[in-house]
Structure 1
Amino acid sequence: MALAGVRVIELAGLAPAPFCGMVLADFGAKVIRVDRTKVPVSLDTLHRGKRSVAVDLKTAEGRALLRRLCVQSDVVLEPYRKGVMEKLGLGPQELLTENPRLIYARLTGYGQNGSHATAAGHDINYLAMSGLLSRLGRSGEKPLAPLNLLADFAGGGLTCALGIVLALLEREKSGKGQVIDASMVEGAAYAGSFVWKSGSIGMWDRGRGENLLDGGAPFYDTYRTQDGKFMAVGALEPQFYLQLLKVLELDPRELPPQMSFSDWPELRRIFSARFASKPQAEWSRLFQGTDACVTPVLSLDQVSSHPHNRERGSFMKDSGGGEFPRPAPVLSRTPARPSPAAHLTTGEHTVEVLQEFGFNSEEIEQMLAAGVVEASTERSKL
């Protein structure tokens, strides 16, 4: 796989950093999640392909252990607020001194400097600070955050993974590691570059929810079908718009012009009535094979059975039968091979990992007995 041989230490967290680690693991990196001790159940669901080591970082021995893991690895992924790792004596200055090739990725909401650097926050706050939240939502309504996808995952986890891969690539030339300052505010804003760049060509001149791509246009929206399901319409270009009208059995000569903003409410009323006249399956059949840019809005339990997704193998199952999206993108020679394991127990691989890092059985026994580390596996495996 593309990242085979890359060793990653992921400090346990939630959402963005675990997603970043999972992406790296899917493409071949050996990702070790460092969990806290005395936490029997982890809330992290993005643990695919990782191994867990439980370490008590409140002890000097635990911090020394983590230091040893980090300086013998390629990447450290930490999700803590500014200053936490420095207080532990495990900041990038200390670790890169011992391992100059280390990639130290810091994934936070606001970044490592600035007035908000130490402030708490969540996806909705980072999205708000990026400027993008102001553009999301229906006309006349309050801004609406689209799940926690844009800041946590697109601007956070995925952008951080890109930064790590870029740093690893650069290290091949320089032989040196570096620090990655991944801010979810800036990552989300960067993912929204199109909003800034297209403003100059009049794409966002109108208010929130009144433009081409934000639900304002009746030909770029969703419509309820007869059976209470929905169809997604994206017929932006004139040639696609004409195909939309053809399937809906509407005569363009009897309708206002496509780009007549003042007539958009009337067009939406007409489209709504048409889509409400047939069930989703019938509309899907009618639009199949056309370039009208109309597709069914699939639920999570429908996506894997859709013919297109099934033909591509776009969704997979873990050992417990749970479905998940196939890692993307698809590489022709070194594709991702996600682990089929359904669960990861805190401390499940403590003994195994410590042995890989050169600790002998006696040392491991002493750390287990002192509570410096925890292992969910039987200690007879020593």
Structure 2
Amino acid sequence: MCGAPPGSRPLEGVVVVEIALWVAGPATAAVLADWGATVVKVEPLGGDPQRHLEGLRPPGAPAEGGNPTFDVSNRGKRSVAVDLKSDQGREVVEKLLGQADVLVTNMRMPALARLGLDHESTLGRHPRLVYALMTGYGLRGPHADAPGYDTGAFWARSGIAASLTVPGGTPPFQRGAMGDRSAAVALAGGVAAALLARERTGRGQLVSSSLYRWGTYLLASDLSIALQFGAPMATARRDVMASPTVNCYRCADDRWVWLIGLERDRHWPPLVRAVGRPSWLTDERFATSSARQQHAQELIASLDALFAEKSRAEWLTIFDECDVWAEPVNTIEDVLVDEQFLAAGGLVELPGTGTLTVNTPLDFGDTPVGPRAAAPALGAQTEDVLSWLGYTPADIETLRSAGVVG
């Protein structure tokens, strides 16, 4: 469709219509596009508002230079600008859905109903369609129709922010679209499963996820503990961690390392060797796991003093020699030059642009995946897609003159 290049990607030949805004819905469709689907992004005439989001430039960045947060969620798609409030615009979308395998949307359910695009009526007209719906809070309940940005539904209401807040502290801010993008990968997996089910049954179905449910699933350990024992786990504090082998430490160069020795007795002797304190193995304050927990504050303060004597690079070398399990606490700048990140395929080049972008987090052994093009300009493929649907050049000009398409 529309000049899609041939290939053997996992979802090659699958046609996806995206009627979505901001991040969670578009990111779902972007994953499907990376997996080979042909994605037609239906935008309002003014464009997806994420195109125009301001304030996401670091200090000193030039005013021009694109919108990387939009681009990463919309690469490899075809943009069609349509006025969905008009009868003719809805007719265009109806023809698109008649050719599609999947609809991806994160519009609020009342708005979808007003447009005749709610899942009940849409699946009634297109029973083979996989209808992928991302909501803020789910399909039922008193807040089912509430606006659901991920800062609210995923970060705040789910319990994540509070669970990361130390006593007396303020809730931490999440990084941009963390909930949106992680939930998008989950919903993309749901779409793939629903397509497989359709192969067996001949029928499409609704597959839905919510930012709220995704946030609570990430907190499944905490919620399960509270369910079983009637009380939640306390928020971790590094100065009183029960085990010093699972903690972060500041080095002499003001960079941090994180020890990941989860097995307390197994990982304690290597740490003792690394910091040069063999006497701690027989010191009654630290000789056993329970003793270390009882004297945690004292022990961590001693380790803090030792870690402050060497740079992070020096410590990481020592850890390798002593079999201490640890990782650097990387900054964004660190990640972008991390040889492991690069070797593992964390970055990918947008074809024909020379621009690097962040790769989606799943790889396939026998079928290629990854972006096939940069994010489209608003309405860049309107004429192409309408021609594919059977509209003549005169039809397209009439729709454009009437303000139905852009």
TM-score under structure 1 length normalisation: 0.87
Per the TM alignment, residue 294 of structure 1 is displaced from its structure 2 partner at its CA by 0.8
CA distance in 2, matches of 1:346, 1:42: 11
Counterpart in 2 of 1:380?
A: none
Residues 35, 359 of structure 1: alpha-carbon distance in 2 compared, 3 angstrom cutoff: same
Residues 338, 258 of structure 1: alpha-carbon distance in 2 compared, 3 angstrom cutoff: farther
1:14 equivalenced with 2:22 (yes/no):
yes
CA RMSD in angstroms comes to 2.8
1:228 equivalenced with 2:254 (yes/no):
yes
Counterpart in 2 of 1:309?
A: 341
SS at match of 1:288: helix
CA distance in 2, matches of 1:232, 1:120: 37
The answer to whether the 8 Å contact 2:243/2:289 transfers is no
Counterpart in 2 of 1:245?
A: 272
Counterpart in 2 of 1:138?
A: 166
1:67 equivalenced with 2:75 (yes/no):
no
The C-alpha deviation readout for 1:299-339, integer Å capped at 9, x for no partner, is 22332432323333332233555443333222110131323
CA distance in 1, matches of 2:32, 2:346: 19
CA distance in 2, matches of 1:176, 1:88: 23
The answer to whether the 8 Å contact 1:139/1:209 transfers is no
Query: Which runs of structure 2 are paired with 1:169-180 in the superposition (5 Å)?
Result: 169-180=196-207
SS at match of 2:333: coil
SS at match of 2:75: coil
SS at match of 1:2: coil
**Tell me, which stretches of 5 or more residues in structure 2 are unaligned?**
1-8, 54-69
Query: Which runs of structure 2 are paired with 1:220-369 in the superposition (5 Å)?
Result: 220-237=246-263, 238-251=265-278, 252-253=280-281, 254=283, 256=286, 257-259=288-290, 260-288=292-320, 291-318=323-350, 320-341=353-374, 343-369=375-401
The answer to whether the 8 Å contact 2:109/2:118 transfers is no
CA distance in 1, matches of 2:315, 2:372: 38
CA distance in 2, matches of 1:347, 1:182: 28
Per the TM alignment, residue 83 of structure 1 is displaced from its structure 2 partner at its CA by 1.4
CA distance in 2, matches of 1:348, 1:289: 56
The answer to whether the 8 Å contact 1:136/1:145 transfers is no
SS at match of 1:209: coil
Residues 277, 149 of structure 1: alpha-carbon distance in 2 compared, 3 angstrom cutoff: farther
Residues 286, 317 of structure 1: alpha-carbon distance in 2 compared, 3 angstrom cutoff: farther
Per the TM alignment, residue 179 of structure 1 is displaced from its structure 2 partner at its CA by 1.2
The C-alpha deviation readout for 1:98-131, integer Å capped at 9, x for no partner, is 2210011111111122100122233232234334
Per the TM alignment, residue 160 of structure 1 is displaced from its structure 2 partner at its CA by 1.6
SS at match of 1:324: strand
Per the TM alignment, residue 91 of structure 1 is displaced from its structure 2 partner at its CA by 2.0
Matched letter for residue 4 of structure 1 = E
The answer to whether the 8 Å contact 1:39/1:346 transfers is yes
Q: State the aligned residue count.
A: 371
The answer to whether the 8 Å contact 2:20/2:107 transfers is no
Counterpart in 2 of 1:378?
A: none
Task: Give the counterpart of 1:49 among 51, 59, 76.
Answer: 76
SS at match of 1:261: helix
CA distance in 1, matches of 2:238, 2:101: 46
CA distance in 2, matches of 1:291, 1:357: 62
SS at match of 1:105: strand
TM-score under structure 2 length normalisation: 0.82
CA distance in 2, matches of 1:36, 1:289: 58
Residues 201, 371 of structure 1: alpha-carbon distance in 2 compared, 3 angstrom cutoff: closer
Counterpart in 1 of 2:218?
A: 191
CA distance in 1, matches of 2:108, 2:257: 42
Task: Give the counterpart of 1:92 among 112, 116, 119.
Answer: 119
Residues 217, 347 of structure 1: alpha-carbon distance in 2 compared, 3 angstrom cutoff: farther
